[in-house]
Amino acid sequence: MGRFDWLSEYLAQLEDEHVLVRRGSAQRLAPAHVLEIDAEDWGRAARQASLLEYRWCGLWGDEHEDHIRVYACLEHAGDYVVLQTAVDADTPVLPSHVPSYPIADRPERHAQDMLGLVFSDSPDERRWTRHQAWPESSYPLRADFHLPADQGGQPAPADGGYPFQHIKGEGVCEIPVGPVHAGIIEPGHFRFHAVGEEILSLEQRLGYVHKGIEKAAQGRDAAALVRLAGRVSGDSTVAHAWAACQSLERAVGCRVDRRAQQLRGLLCERERVANHLGDIGAICNDVGFAFALYQCSRLRENWLRRNQELFGHRLLMDLLLPGGVAVDLDTRARESLKQDHQRLMEETNELFDILLDQPSLEDRLLNTGVLRPATARALGCTGYVGKASGQAFDLRASNPYPPYDRQPMKTVCLADGDVMARVQLRMEEIRRSLEWMDELLDALEPGELQCRWQPPQAPCEGLGFVESWRGEIITYVRLDAGGKVARFFPRDPSWHTWPALERIVMGNIVPDFPVCNKSVNGSYSGQDL
């Protein structure tokens, strides 16, 4: 069977039953294939895709004059399909994808809060993103939504009364944690049920750092959108900006020079290395092994200082532009980076050997916070969470984009799914990124840093797919006839890994929650939008 023969079979089946369906253009949302279906068959399409083991990747809506277009992205063997449908803006009712894909729950609730979509058979109708900021009848992504005049600059009312699920029974304790935490992390509420120290369940309540990213994007030009995308999640500024650039460039047909693509890849891998170093140290510190925190923090700090020296920003913010990049490397800088790579490789090899030979670390990390491969697959986990649990998907290899198309990235996959596996996965990714960056610097081609950006003459849309350090980012952009942003939706991998944390902690003891949480390290900001 070919890549999308199931689409043809499905179409034929639906046509036999006289259901209105038509095949969309494969170029309309390149590189994804498009299947446009009737709204009544929305749930059935998900069931069919689930049976064929398509991974559910995300959902978003886009209001037009009298209707709302709804999109769901699916992936199989590295190829993407986008399901599309339309519902009347006055009665925006659709079947839910949750019965076939439980991971669709929070994205559907987000679309419910933001656009007023109603998923008729959804098992959970609680608010997700809304909190207390807007009345029940107001939907921020609708064209007629405006902030109340008397609310400007005032904080939203405190959130309260969220109907958490309860477990009753002899000896069951309920433990609320957050949303404000003792450290400097962002806010998120965790509600535990435990018997003694054993966790029976965890339910999360996120959305406290909702920033209105999707609404704030509307009306921006391409350059301003990329700057905004770089602030969706500050530790993934390169990856989110890159995905936004891809979607813009595909929408208008802009071809980026090879050198600019190579520099984008270099910046993204530098972002990966810095974050993995920080996480490895923090995970070890959560179980009392401060030596690893000291060493990883030192190595990360040196790495960030080099970012500042060569690229002008420690976290590499605002270095990507529509059509290219804002920075270049001369011969001296390339040699300096290669020397850095060699030193870091030597130091991390020695450090990681020490960490992996520590009985006290093994005792706390092995068999702690296990995410089974079947669960990781059902939740659509990517990045280190998915790859540590047997999910080999990595966009850099599964569906390589420039510069990975000509310079393949060797990826790694483990099967144990515990905290130790997520640490080892990070270690191996650091090594492979360093090797890849050395190869890239040797193969760096001459060329232009930025192509001339031409706003479109007609409305257009595009998709971006980037493998961030956390995993797969999917970004949708629609531009109007004047080249301004009409719709922007960035899907961070944390939408899939936060629900995984709820499964990971079950059966563990309460004191192990911090290390389980840190080993996942979901982005509050990336999920809250």
What's the pLDDT score for residue 146? Answer: 76
**Residue in the block written with tokens 């479109």:** 456
Which of 509, 500, 437, 488 lies closest to 241 in space, CA to CA? 488
Average pLDDT over residues 365-371: 97
Structure tokens at 468: 């961030």
Answer yes or no: is pLDDT of 463 > 50: yes
Are 450 and 258 contacting, i.e. CB atoms less than 8 angstroms apart?
no
CA 294 to chain centre: 29
What's the pLDDT score for residue 137? Answer: 83
Can you list the alpha helix ranges (DSSP code H) found in 17-166? 42-51, 105-115
Neighbours of 519 (CB within 10 A): 29
pTM: 0.94
Using CA atoms, how far apart are residues 34 and 38, in angstroms rounded to an integer? 13
**What backbone torsions phi and psi does residue 83 show, to the nearest 5 degrees?**
-85, 135
**Residue in the block written with tokens 């405190």:** 158
Local structure of 353: helix, strand or coil: helix
What's the pLDDT score for residue 28? Answer: 58
Average pLDDT over residues 382-405: 97
Using CA atoms, how far apart are residues 498 and 507, in angstroms rounded to an integer? 17
Structure tokens at 346: 């030597």
Local structure of 115: helix, strand or coil: helix
What's the pLDDT score for residue 10? Answer: 57
Which of 101, 82, 107, 122 lies closest to 378 in space, CA to CA? 101
Which of 94, 83, 99, 90 lies closest to 118 in space, CA to CA? 94
Using CA atoms, how far apart are residues 32 and 104, in angstroms rounded to an integer? 19
The fraction of the chain above a pLDDT of 70, given in percent, is 93
Using CA atoms, how far apart are residues 236 and 383, in angstroms rounded to an integer? 13
Answer yes or no: is pLDDT of 299 > 60: yes
**Beta carbons within 8 Å of 264's beta carbon, 6+ residues apart:** 238, 242, 245, 320, 325, 403
Q: Which residues pair with 62 in a beta bridge?
A: 69
Answer yes or no: is pLDDT of 17 > 90: no
Structure tokens at 155: 């904080």
Answer yes or no: is pLDDT of 338 > 50: yes
Using CA atoms, how far apart are residues 450 and 99, in angstroms rounded to an integer? 46
Q: Which residues pair with 172 in a beta bridge?
A: 195
Average pLDDT over residues 233-246: 97
Comparison of pLDDT for 161 and 508, the residue scoring more: 508
What's the pLDDT score for residue 22? Answer: 36
Average pLDDT over residues 452-481: 95
Q: Which residues pair with 173 in a beta bridge?
A: 194
H or E stretch including 204? strand 198-205
What's the pLDDT score for residue 20? Answer: 30
Q: Which residues pair with 190 in a beta bridge?
A: 177, 204
Looking at every residue in the chain, the average pLDDT score rounds to 91
At 274, the amino acid letter reads: A
Q: Give 295-319 as a DSSP string.
A: HHHHHHHHHHHHHHHHHS-TT-TT-
Q: Give 422-477 as a DSSP string.
A: HHHHHHHHHHHHHHHHHHHHHTPPP--SBPPP---SS-EEEEEEEE-SSSEEEEEE
Average pLDDT over residues 55-59: 97
Q: How far is the CA of 145 from the CAs of 134, 209, 232, 488, in angstroms?
A: 10, 20, 22, 17
Using CA atoms, how far apart are residues 435 and 379, in angstroms rounded to an integer? 31
Q: How far is the CA of 107 from the CAs of 407, 408, 440, 465, in angstroms?
A: 34, 32, 37, 18
Using CA atoms, how far apart are residues 234 and 494, in angstroms rounded to an integer? 13
Res. 6 pLDDT band, cuts 50 70 90: low
pLDDT tens-digit map of 157-215: 777 788 899 888 889 999 999 888 877 788 999 999 999 999 999 999 999 889 999 99
Average pLDDT over residues 402-429: 97
pLDDT tens-digit map of 90-123: 999 999 999 999 999 999 999 999 999 999 999 9
Which of 464, 488, 483 lies closest to 218 in space, CA to CA? 488
Answer yes or no: is pLDDT of 141 > 60: yes
Using CA atoms, how far apart are residues 18 and 38, in angstroms rounded to an integer? 11
What's the pLDDT score for residue 135? Answer: 79
Q: Which domains does the chain have, with CATH numbers?
A: 5-142 (3.30.460.80), 256-452 (1.10.645.10)
